[in-house]
Amino acid sequence: MSDSETPLPKLALDEAALDQLFHTARTHNAWLDKEVPDALLRELVGILKMGPTSANTLPARFVFVKSKEAKEKLKPHLSKGNQEKTMQAPVCAIIAHDLEFYERLPEQFPHTDAKSWFEGKPEKIKETAFRNGTLQGAYLIIGARALGLDCGPMSGFDADGVDEAFFAGTPYKANFLCNIGYGDDSELMPRSPRPDFDDIAKIV
Instruction: Give the torsion through C-alpha atoms of 178, 179, 182, 188, to 10 deg.
Output: -90
In a domain, 14, yes or no: no
H or E segment at 152? Answer: strand 150-154
In a domain, 115, yes or no: yes
Banded model confidence at residue 3, pLDDT cuts 50, 70, 90: low
Q: What is the pLDDT of residues 139-152, one digit of tens each?
A: 999 999 999 999 99
Quickly list H helices, the chain.
15-18, 38-48, 68-74, 80-88, 105-108, 122-146, 159-166, 197-200
Q: 126 lies in which domain range?
A: 28-182
Distance (Å, rounded) from C-alpha 26 to C-alpha 24? 6
DSSP assigned state of 23: I
Q: What is the pLDDT of residues 68-88, one digit of tens each?
A: 999 999 999 999 999 999 999
In a domain, 23, yes or no: no
Q: What is the pLDDT of residues 14-46, one digit of tens each?
A: 999 999 999 999 999 999 999 999 999 999 999
List beta partners, residue 62. Answer: 95
Q: Give the β-pairing of 150-154 and 91-98.
A: unpaired
Q: What is the pLDDT of residues 111-135, one digit of tens each?
A: 999 999 999 999 999 999 999 999 9
In total, how many domains does the chain have? 1
In a domain, 109, yes or no: yes
In a domain, 89, yes or no: yes
CATH number at residue 142: 3.40.109.10
CB of 48 closer than 8 Å to CB of 143: yes
Position 204 scores a pLDDT of 98
